[in-house]
Every structure is written in structure tokens, then in C-alpha cells.
Chain A
Amino acid sequence: MNDSIQRLHAAAARLVRPVKFMEVCGTHTMSAFRSGLHSLMPANVTLLSGPGCPVCVTSQGDIDQLIDVARKPGVILCTYGDMIRVVGSAGSLEQARADGADVRVLYSSLDAVKLAAENPSRQVVFAAVGFETTTPASAAAVLHADKLFLSNFTILTSHKMVMPAMRALLSADDLQVDGFLCPGHVAVILGAAAFDPIASEYHKPCVIAGFEGAQIATALARLTEMMADGICRLENFYSQAVTEKGNVAAQELVARIFRPDASYWRGLALLPDSGLVLREQYRRYDARLRFQLGQPINREISGCLCGDVITGRATPADCRLFGSACTPARAIGPCMVSSEGTCQAWFKYKRVANRPSPSPRPSPGVPGEGEKFSAAAERNA
């Protein structure tokens, strides 16, 4: 048995009651499942997923505005791959592209600036999504566009900050979480000290963790030990990359371009100072201003429990749409669309997917009916 798993079980054996920990990072969600960690957890330790998937917490209204802008003539809408399949009130970016919208998936925000420089007659809009790991990339893009005096580049911001969401969770009366895994790469940017209030103000142990399965397991083991020993501290288990102060240059760049503002989180509603908007001197790069988009309208999807799922109040299994009306192939809520959304992770890894009963087997030597078509249809590398 892997050392980190052994350590986790040894610590769990010393617990006096079952415990629940929460991670708040989509990459942690995915990695915990993909590494098989969930299948190795002690029975008395539960790992919940919190509001850490940027796609999942982006409000319906923001998504609708993105798709709206993408459909405008002359616009090139640039996005990270995470957003392409998220469904708003009327379709997704992927569907808008199928309808003729110019939607491009890119790797770096600077690629969007380059597109704008190369296509002066087009309006390039960049979907600025993500938590603090990714925010500096948007800030850099705005700064770069500004240096190039570009008049055809804007961003549609739905950047969010992790700590305000954690504070909201920690302040809730019905919180049933004993400790937290802190997102390692957000910590790279912000510094370990940014997560200190979780322990010092809200008295919950927390561990900054890396992303390999073994690293998450070790961090959980430490949290379990702290629970067993009655210790309440912030500990940094990703010191290879996380320093106390973080990446100051990145922090300063973000502070130069953006300022905090209230932001609507799916499942958490409006949280003060939890999102970012462009500062006054950079407002000409604001797509909402450029395209006069107004305030986003947030319509929650009837029956969709994504909001409760990402705050740990419900599991995907509690949602009546889960696995029936809502599947990865036909996703209703963002937790199912996103590859690190809790619902998709549960669907893929925690349950056996619905499958048709095995087709009647023809005699050997005769190609099976369904088989050849699936092979023939799939050649499109």
C-alpha cells in the first residue's frame, strides 16, 4: 500500500468520530478521482468538493452574456477549453460556434491579444474566467493590449476569488466540514499566508496540497492527524512551489488592472468583494461596456442542484436530474459539463454508467451489428 494511504488509514484509526474534509479546487476534485483516491478512503473520512471549479461557479447570467457576445457579428470570442460546452439559457459556446459564431479555444490569454493585433477589423473578446491562479494571465493580457494601443480587444470578466467563498462557507451555520484542502496553485500566487484565517479565525485545520494523488492523500492524512490530535493549524504541504508570500509580481499586476467587487456565485449567490472588475483606467477593455451588455440576469435551472452540490450541502446523487436527464453527454448544469465538476466526476468514477443490456450475440465469425458502425463512425483524429 502506498505510504500516503497507509498514513491516512493510520490517522483515521485514531479518530473518535467520522470527519468530513472539503477541497475547493476543480483540479483537486479531478485528481482525487482519477488517482483512485476515493476508492482508498477510510470509511470514517469523507472528501467533499466545494466551489472550486471556475466553470461551475460562474453564474448563468455571465455565461449567457458570453454566448450573446459570441453571436454578435464581427466578434471573435476567445476562451479556454473549460468553457466551451457550458450551457446557458440558450445553448453553449460550442453550439454558437456550430451556428456560425467565431469561437476559438486558446491556451494562453496572450493569444487573444495577438488575434486582436492581427485582425484590426474584428472585435476580439476574451472570456476571463478562473480563480487566482489564472487571474494574472488576464491582467497580463490587458496590460499587453494596452501597450499595443489596441482598440479592438476586450475581456468579459467572471474572475472569482477563493477566500471570500471559503469565508462564506465557514460562516454558514450548517457547515459540516471539519477541515480544508487549500488549492496549491492559488497558493503559489497568493502565498500560504492568504489561507491563514481558516485556522486562525474560523478554527478549522487546513493543508495546502499539491495535485498528484499521493500529495492529496498525504495532505488528507495530515488533516486527519490534526483532527485526531486536536490541532488546528494551516500547514503547507506544497512548499516546493508555495512560499509564504507567494508570487508578488503577479499579485501586483492583478491589483494594478483589477479591483475586487461583488460577484454572483452559482450556489452562493452574491458575495461581496469576491470577484474582480477592471479598474477605471482600464475600463475600455471591458466587454460589458463595449457591447453595452448591462447586468447579467441569473436564472437558476429548475431541478438543478449544482448550487447545493458545490457547497457540500448535497451530493450529486441527491439531485433528481443526476444520471437521468443530466449526463455528461447531455449536461444540464455546469457541474456535469465541466470535466472537473463534481457531478461529472461522480458520474464517471463513482457509479457505473447506465448502459443498454448487452446486445444479442451473433455467432462467431460474423461481425456484430453494433460493432462495425462504432468503429467506422469514429475515425476523425
Chain B
Amino acid sequence: MVAIDQPMTGGKISLAHGGGGQLTDELISQCILPRLGNNILSDLLDSAIFPPLAAGEKPTLTIDSYVVQPLFFPGGDIGRLCVSGTVNDLAVCGARPLGIALSLILTEGLPKNTLEKVMDSIAATATEAGVKIVTGDTKVVGHAQGDGVYITTAGIGAISDYKLHPDLVEPGDAIIVSGNVADHGMAVMLARQMPQMQSSITSDVAPLNHMIAGLLKSTSGVVFLRDPTRGGLAGVCADLANRTGRHITLEEDSIPIDPRTRHVADMLGSDPLDVANEGKVVAVVRPGAVKAALAALHGDRHGLNARVIGHVDETGEGVCELHTTLGGRRILLKAYGEQLPRIC
């Protein structure tokens, strides 16, 4: 479907760019390939073909979509987010990322310059993670149907025999978080809801596969990993307690939160435990493996502030409770609704 009567608004994406015809070729060859080019992608076959896996490895597959607004926020953008998110989903299952399939849905009228910046970011983050974008697709939709850029990424990884699963979680296991929580969600919320604020908070968005590989290499005592994205730390821990049927206790005083983030969260009525993270991992670790795990995390620039924040209890029903600063307890549940500025 090449819409011949669509004028090429120079510098802007038009419906014709998604039509599969010459303008699409032009978009790929000008905007996309130069930034992402690698031996698999450049073949431009309809499917990406991978070399065989190593003996004993199994393939894993994950998929996510990214619709973040605004597209660019302090510390990152939708491009960095989509690569990091998919790489991290593979990594927390113990997989090494092999390749990413990238699907772009662009809105008619999107400045080409914006697309180029997003592609630059995708390229840089992929390089950082050591992963290739191996295949992709681009579509363009009308103005009324979109907000600029929607991205879907599917990731393929190779998993060895390191077993990570909630069923392995046992009483006595330690809960570790790899660093400060709530930075990403607060940074994005401020960028969207309070553009008049000059925020000192930056998103933590980052690919964590190297850090996680180092962690899994340092000890065999890691039994479960999860990245606390939407729903935050509370969401992951509540889910884990629910899934395993175990009682989990988190220590409020141990949870690392940057004072800059906490101050703004207090101002707007957000609970940092409910806020999304895109560069953190929660690890459940056997008690004897905690020292090695922390050392491994501290040795990576994304894990400098890793802490033990809680443990799996011997008894109790399958909920996560916070042992508060005051010395009391409250149940952690997944939050309802978005974080928005409140008066009360």
C-alpha cells in the first residue's frame, strides 16, 4: 500500500514510510540500518538465522511492548528502555541474550530526527548489552492512532542449566535488591506530569545482563530473579509471596532509596515501593550465598548499592509484610492505578 498522493513532508514520517515500498526501503537504509547494522540484520532476510546453541543450552523467548510517554526522560528514552527491558527479561531467567526483534509503530507526522535519536539509543544500548537487533518491522499509523513511537521487542536468549524458579524459594532465603528503588518511575512521572520541575532524579534504565551473569557465576545460591518494573519492589515481592505461598518480610530501614527521589515522592504522595524500576533486580539467595552475591553485585556499576532487604520466613501465609521503621508491620500489596500528584 504505497499512498502516492501522500506528500513527503520532508523531515517527518508519513504514512507512505510504512507502506512497504520505496519510502520504507529508504527509511530502513537511511535511519535504521546504519545505526543497527550487523551481519544478521544486514542480510535483510525475512527471518533472522542464528548460529547453533552450545551443547546443553535451551532457547528462551520473551516479548514486551513500550508505550512510555514522554519518549525522552532524564536518564533515558524509549529506545534505551526497550532494549534494556527485553535484555533484562531474558537475563532474570538466567539466559544470555542472543538477539532482539524490533517492531516499530510510528505515528504519521513524527519528526525523522526523533526517530533517529531513538534508533541511536537502541544501537548504543544494544552495544552496551552485547546484543544484536537481528530483525525488525516498521509500520506507520495515522495521527489519531498514536503518540509518536510504540515499540515491541521480542528477545531470544540461551539458557544454561542454572535453575532459577520460584518453586526453589525456601524459608531462610535472603531477599536482595541491586540498588536504589523508584528512580525510573519518579523520573518519568515528573517528566510527564510536572515538566515545570527541574528534576535531579534520573531513570536507572540499563541492561543488566552483564551484572546478572557475574552474579550467577559468583555463586550457585541464587534461586530466583525478577526485575521490579511496573508495580515496583512491592509488586515483585507481593507476587513472589503469593506464588510461593511463603511469608516474606522486608525491612523498611534496609530498602535503599535516593533522598532526591524520596523527597519528591513525599511531595506527590507516591510510595517508592510501588514505583517502577528499569535498572534493578530483586534476587532470592540462599543464606550461605549472600556474601558472594553482594560482592558480585557491588563489583558491577549497576549494583553498587545492592543490599539485603529481607528474607523468606519459616512460617506464615503467602504474603509479603514490611517491618516498618516504627517497628510495626503492614502488608505489601500491588498498587492500584497510576502514581499521580495528590493533595492528600
Binding site for B on A (CB under 8 A): 1-2, 4-5, 26-27, 33-40, 53-55, 80-82, 84-85, 105-107, 111, 129-130, 133-134, 213-214, 217, 328-329, 338-340, 348-349, 352-353, 355, 358-359, 361, 364-365, 367-368, 371-372, 374-376, 378-381
- Assembled-state Cα–Cα distance A365/B325 (Å): 38
**What distance in Å separates the Cβ of B278 from its nearest Cβ neighbour in chain A?**
6
Binding site for A on B (CB under 8 A): 60, 62-68, 81, 85, 89, 93, 163, 165-168, 184-185, 188, 193-194, 196, 203, 226, 229-231, 235, 239, 242-245, 268-269, 271, 276, 278, 317-319, 322-331, 333, 336-337, 340-344
- Do A378 and B193 touch across chains, with their CB atoms under 8 A apart? no
Partner of A26, one of B165, B340, B344: B344
**What distance in Å separates the Cβ of A212 from its nearest Cβ neighbour in chain B?**
9
Q: Which residues of B contact A107 (CB under 8 A)?
A: 193-194, 268, 341
Q: Which residues of A contact B340 (CB under 8 A)?
A: 81, 84, 105
- Do B330 and A80 touch across chains, with their CB atoms under 8 A apart? no
- Do B163 and A364 touch across chains, with their CB atoms under 8 A apart? yes
Partner of B330, one of A33, A53, A111, A361: A33
- Assembled-state Cα–Cα distance A4/B333 (Å): 27
Interface SS, A side: loop
**What distance in Å separates the Cβ of A157 from its nearest Cβ neighbour in chain B?**
15
- Do A379 and B268 touch across chains, with their CB atoms under 8 A apart? no
- Assembled-state Cα–Cα distance A321/B342 (Å): 27
- Do B319 and A374 touch across chains, with their CB atoms under 8 A apart? no
With A80-B341, A107-B193, A348-B331 as contacts: A379 and B326 at CB distance below 8 Å? no
With A80-B342, A348-B331, A372-B62 as contacts: A35 and B242 at CB distance below 8 Å? no
- Do B329 and A39 touch across chains, with their CB atoms under 8 A apart? yes
Q: List 15 A-B contacts (CB under 8 A).
A: A2-B327, A34-B271, A34-B330, A38-B328, A54-B343, A80-B341, A84-B337, A107-B341, A217-B326, A348-B330, A367-B60, A368-B166, A368-B243, A375-B64, A381-B184
With A81-B341, A381-B184 as contacts: A352 and B328 at CB distance below 8 Å? no
Q: Which residues of B contact A39 (CB under 8 A)?
A: 328-330
Q: Which partner residue on chain A sits nearest B244 by CB separation? A: A358
Partner of B326, one of A213, A349, A355: A213
